[in-house]
Copies of this chain bind each other. A is one copy, B any other.
Amino acid sequence: MITRLSNYFLKTLREDPADAEVASHKLLVRAGYIRRQAPGVFGWMPLGLRVKEKIERIIREEMSAAGAHEVHFPALLPREPYEATGRWEEYGDALFRLKDRHGADYLLAPTHEEAFTLMVKDIVSSYKDLPLSLYQIQDKYRDEARPRAGLLRGREFTMKDAYSFDVSDEGLDAAYQKQRDAYERIFTRLGIEYVIVSADAGAMGGSRSEEFLLPIDIGEDTFVRSEGGYAANVEAYRAPVPAALPIAGQHAALVYDSPETPTIETLVSHTNAVLPRADGREWTAADTLKNVVLAVTSLEGEREIVVVGIPGDRDADMKRVEVAFPNCEVEPATDDDFTKHPGLVKGYIGPVLNGAAVLGSEGSTGIRYLLDPRVVDGTSWVTGANAHEKHVAYLVAGRDFTADGVVDIATVRDGDPAPDGSGPVSLARGMEIGHVFQLGRKYAEALGLKVLDENGKLVTVTMGSYGIGVTRIMAALADLNHDDRGLVWPRAIAPFDVHLVATGKDPVVFERAEELADSLSRAGIDVLFDDRPKVSPGVKFGDAELLGVPRVVVVGRDAAEGFAEVWDRAAGTKDRVAIADVPALFDA
């Protein structure tokens, strides 16, 4: 096929769009792939559609190879099934909700677990109909608070979402593995170097969950990995629990005055001044126990105050907090909360007062007290004495205080140990481009998806959910593959195989270029032919570089002698090649 630029719906821009921060957003708009329609909502021009369809084709091929059947659901769905699974509420403001003319509630689906579950319920009745994997490539909606970065976080976006249905846990494991393998093939074909990280199954109630991350600085996710092969989203990182220490022989708890020490820093410096240790070591933030006061609001609207003790050299990571308190909204306690709980002495909170429990369900405040996993029995801490300008040192866990449970919400740092013993982890930024997820029986239970098993007994089906962000991948590939002149698409998804440029005014040039376009096209090569008669070579070269077709062939001055110039944009090379030899460059 020959597509002629003289008659193509395209306009390249010299200026970056005003609202664009990342390279993919700037370049996809400037090069005429997409156009903004509203915040986070884009229209697709012919070039953009071509790349998107190539990505979709690769995904379809691999889904089919994984035995998944393609279906297609509407974006507009009724409220009831989402009500049954709790997602109508859980999604909060991120769900686009609307009413029809009769006042019935609808939503624009953010994902389709409910619809797939109901369709399978409608069609499948026996274990013999399973295993089953279904997928669709479809436009989804999420009302992001701050749509940003073009296609990377839009409010309308294209996803491949697949769902598996099995009777047994082993069946789910196998289906999960098939999709996971397909994802590896898809990303490899797309030329993406991905990292698979453990993800927290969180509120979805599932058991196993992994994310495919693209390591890239503009990513919104933080993940950790060790050289020994551990990799996890920070939300999923679990601090290894150290062994308990002996309590016998430890220094007795000691309450001391600590005026004006509401912060860890002031506390450490004051304590070093007034309370030198026998072994001469300085107190550090790591010796202190910080008591973080959180307000946890359940879906039903109940607000509970919870205190979490974590080593003073770490903070509460609010993303990890979210995971630790599923289905709840959590925020730091407000002044109002402190007023309502006078038993908590702000800046000097501690688990005990005069040796008696203040925090924990057995304490005087009755407030739930949770501890970081590192605070094992026998560890000794400097912490608040729960009295104004008083702290206590040598407070030993398991001797002087106990807690109602363990919660792992502290920040993760470079050098923290991997939980699997594979060495220290380092932190990196990544962008989620895929997610595989064992949902288990949550959706099937909520919507009554049961089948008869081998013994004729009704059993609830177990499900998996598997997503790839099609439009996000396109943006990510644009971010990974560009230089200061424009995009440089990987061949597998480039909008055309070759960008053929005819320059100058010499009719011979245009004749030779036409002939070359023709012979390339006849060889099955998709040609974008810049045949514009009155456009300067500079503009044509600039457009060729901006558009990002990986191979550019320039037919110009040397055409009469039978030569063209062939650019390999990724390699950065420009070679003089006989026109007759050009088609052979595109073999295979």
A residues contacting B by CB (< 8 A) are 7-11, 32, 35, 37-38, 41-46, 49, 67, 69-78, 93-94, 96-98, 100-101, 106, 108, 115, 119, 122-124, 132, 134, 139, 141, 143, 145, 155-156
Contacts and interface: CB of A to CB of B under 8 A. Distances in A.
A28 to B, nearest CB: 14
10 contacts: A9-B71, A38-B78, A43-B71, A44-B73, A46-B71, A49-B71, A93-B101, A96-B98, A96-B106, A139-B139
A44 B35 CA distance: 29
A11 to B, nearest CB: 4
A132 to B, nearest CB: 7
A47 B185 CA distance: 26
B69 A43 contact: no
A215 B76 CA distance: 31
A101 B94 CA distance: 8
A71 B44 contact: yes
B115 A73 contact: no
Of the candidates A42, A70, A115, the one having the most CB atoms from chain B within 10 angstroms of its own CB is A70
B77 A115 contact: no
Given A9-B123, A96-B100, A43 B76 contact: no
A339 to B, nearest CB: 30
A455 B186 CA distance: 53
A78 B38 CA distance: 6
A98 B98 contact: yes
Contact of A9 (B72, B96, B134, B139): B134
Given A38-B106, A45-B71, A76-B156, 11 more contacts: A8-B69, A11-B124, A35-B119, A41-B74, A41-B78, A46-B70, A49-B70, A74-B156, A75-B156, A96-B98, A98-B108
Contacts of A76: 38, 41, 96, 108, 141, 155-156
Contacts of A119: 35, 43, 45
Shortest 10 CB-CB contacts between residues of A and residues of B: A98-B98, A44-B72, A9-B69, A11-B123, A93-B101, A38-B78, A74-B156, A43-B73, A101-B143, A46-B69
